[in-house]
Amino acid sequence: MKLGTASAAQGLGTGRNDYEFGVGLNDNIGTRIFPFAHLAYRIVGNPPGDNLQNIWTYNLGSSFEVTPRNIFTAMFSGAQSEQPGYSGPADLILAWNYNLTSAGSGIQLFVDKGLTNGSPDYGIGLGVQYVFS
């Protein structure tokens, strides 16, 4: 669920909640390769007067444990467009996780290559993950 907390009056969002339901398949090949695939249906919070449509979202990829601290992920991710007549997003994403603790807390650096007009051409990001154990 995504809570619609962005101001619709300021053009920052719809101000409506989105709900997403899906299924994911995760597996492991040996002890270091972890393929995954996810498919979901998103019910889009559609304010009066807008013509947003509900969409399917998906991703497919695999994570590779090089060492217990260094994990790489390659993923294709996409979705239908919420607006009729526009391209939906589709991206190739490469990520590196560095675990600072044995429980999995650490940092992530990722790069993103957009494949459609519905995605940015390129992206880069940095994240932090904390695992409660």
**Structure confidence by residue, pLDDT tens digits, 82-114:** 999 999 999 999 999 999 999 989 999 999 999
Side chain identity at residue 109, one-letter code: L
What does DSSP assign to residue 2? B
pLDDT at position 12: 79
Distance CA 87, CA 76 (A): 16
CA distance 105 to 97: 9
- Contact (Cβ atoms closer than 8 angstroms) between residue 22 and residue 41: yes
Task: Determine the pLDDT at residue 5.
Answer: 84
Q: Where are the alpha helices (DSSP H) in the chain?
A: none
